[in-house]
Amino acid sequence: MRVLVTGGAGYIGSVAVALLRRDGYDVTVLDDLSTGHRDSLPADVRFVEGSVLNSAIIADALTDCEAVMHFAAKSLVPESVAKPELYHDVNVNGSKNLLAQMKLAGVNRLVFSSTAATYGEPEVIPITEISQTNPTSPYGATKLEVDHAITEAAKRDGLAAISLRYFNVVGGIKLDRGWISERHTPETHLIPNLLRSTSANPIKIFGNDWPTKDGTCIRDYIHVVDLIEAHIAALKAAKTGSHEIINLGSGSGYSILEVIAATSAALGTELPYEMTARRAGDPAVLVADISKARTLLGWQPTRDLAQMVNDTYEAAQG
Ligand code: UFG
């Protein structure tokens, strides 16, 4: 089976490409290289350079494909607060273009990269898939709008679809050709930034006045390889005319101070940090209930926070 991976040159998409190839799938990648890297891709995939805003390019990329994994999106919470129109355009309009072209091409199977940011500030922790959705950022709002469009397409056109709502994705994968891991410019994510923290330039912690046990935000961190193994299971599990929404996390929450302690322990050095004001768009606590992923996908995360930190560190060493 040939799978179209949109955003396949990005961090999470390129790990998907690697594991799909490992499992014997043929792969086409559609990526505009706005944040992705061409050198993250193996030579044996078809690469189409272009945007999900261009319907003709999507149609070309869909040639011979039977399924789509859709990662192409703008994905930073703080950037989305500054540029909401850009997020709406790429994430919502781009995904609607993709759905329309899939219908025209008769491609009926979709795994969508959704997010825990769709839930906003949850009323109950851990978060289940029937929890209220009330996004605190334009990023979360755009992904929620796409989830709704996919539900409609499943009802109307018989699409077989699964949306996977990621919590905080970390780590990398070591391939024969080297590590694939986060390479964002600028880097906004906690663990990669923490690894660069020095006493001259300590990492800034965004708020210690949140309603949590130590005042810092709590997140649920998941290793990128566990995450993509769930995508491959979802590709097989999707059923015609049905749209399932499934959380992907580890099921455990860590405060930022706990992540700093775990990272310091893994590195054998006390990492410096300084407290600053809250960042716009952040909810206080996001922790997943992952029972639906276990049941529907037969999936279980196996890589812990120490491995996420170690892999991120190893990848940064090259
Ligand atoms: N943080 C800091 N300092 C930093 C970076 C982050 O204090 O330098 C804090 C943030 O304020 C937040 C936590 O660390 O409380 C995690 O922040 P990240 O930027 O690493 O990740 P986010 O939680 O903002 O977002 C990530 C993905 C989203 C996804 C979300 C779901 O980027 O796409 O997880 O939980 F929606």
Task: For residues 9 and 21, give the distance between their C-alpha atoms in angstroms, rounded to a whole number.
Answer: 14
CATH number for 34: 3.40.50.720
| Same-domain check for residues 79 and 182 | no
CA distances from 148 to 99, 105, 253 (A): 12, 21, 27
| Same-domain check for residues 284 and 311 | yes
Give the confidence band of 140 by pLDDT, cuts at 50, 70, 90.
very high
Residue from 36, 66, 64 nearest 52 by CA: 36
Give yes or no for a contact between 260 and 191, defined as CB atoms under 8 angstroms apart. Answer: no
- pLDDT, one tens digit per residue, over 214-257 is 999 999 999 999 999 999 999 999 999 999 999 999 999 999 99
C-alpha 308 – ligand 1 centre gap (Å): 15
Give yes or no for a contact between 138 and 87, defined as CB atoms under 8 angstroms apart. Answer: yes
| Same-domain check for residues 55 and 145 | yes
| Same-domain check for residues 7 and 134 | yes
| Same-domain check for residues 110 and 235 | yes
C-alpha 59 – ligand 1 centre gap (Å): 34
Give yes or no for a contact between 119 and 133, defined as CB atoms under 8 angstroms apart. Answer: yes
Tokens of 283: 């909810």
Strand, helix or coil for residue 228: helix
- pLDDT, one tens digit per residue, over 278-296 is 998 889 999 999 999 999 9
Element holding 97 (H helix, E strand): helix 94-105
CA end-to-end distance (rounded Å), the chain:
33
- pLDDT, one tens digit per residue, over 145-203 is 999 999 999 999 999 999 999 999 999 999 998 999 988 788 889 999 999 999 999 99
| Same-domain check for residues 304 and 243 | no
- % of the chain surpassing 90 pLDDT: 93
CATH number for 282: 3.90.25.10
Q: Give pLDDT, residue 318.
A: 77
What DSSP state is assigned to residue 127? B
Q: Is 139 a catalytic residue?
A: yes
Residue from 73, 38, 165 nearest 111 by CA: 165
Burial state string for 258-270 with b = 16 or more CB within 10 A and e = fewer than 16: bbbebbbebeeee
Alpha carbon nearest to ligand 1 atom 15, residue? 217
CA distances from 82 to 74, 76, 94, 220 (A): 12, 10, 19, 25
Work out which ligand 1 atom sits closest to the CA atom of 206. Answer: 7
- Average pLDDT of the residues in 122-147: 96
Give the confidence band of 317 by pLDDT, cuts at 50, 70, 90.
confident
| Same-domain check for residues 88 and 231 | yes
- pLDDT, one tens digit per residue, over 25-74 is 999 999 999 999 999 999 999 999 999 999 999 999 999 999 999 999 99
HSE-CB for 226 with a 13 A CA cutoff: 27
Residue type, 54: N
Q: Give pLDDT, residue 21.
A: 98
| Same-domain check for residues 15 and 159 | yes
Q: What phi and psi values does residue 244 have, to the nearest 5 degrees? A: -100, 145
- Average pLDDT of the residues in 65-88: 96
Q: Give pLDDT, residue 3.
A: 99
Tokens of 264: 């310091």
C-alpha 168 – ligand 1 centre gap (Å): 7
Mutate to test the pocket of ligand 1, among 77, 90, 191 (most ligand atoms within 8 A of CB): 77
Domain that holds residue 148: 2-169+221-247
- 254-255 vs 218-219, strand pairing mode: antiparallel
| Same-domain check for residues 115 and 158 | yes
| Same-domain check for residues 297 and 186 | yes
* 159-65-149 Cα angle (round to 5): 30
Q: How many domains does the chain have?
A: 2
Give yes or no for a contact between 129 and 75, defined as CB atoms under 8 angstroms apart. Answer: no
Catalytic member of 139, 166, 221, 254: 139
Task: For residues 242 and 164, give the distance between their C-alpha atoms in angstroms, rounded to a whole number.
Answer: 14
| Same-domain check for residues 193 and 238 | no
Q: Give pLDDT, residue 187.
A: 86
Q: Give pLDDT, residue 184.
A: 77
| Same-domain check for residues 181 and 255 | yes
Compute the mean pLDDT over every residue in the chain, rounded to the nearest whole number: 96
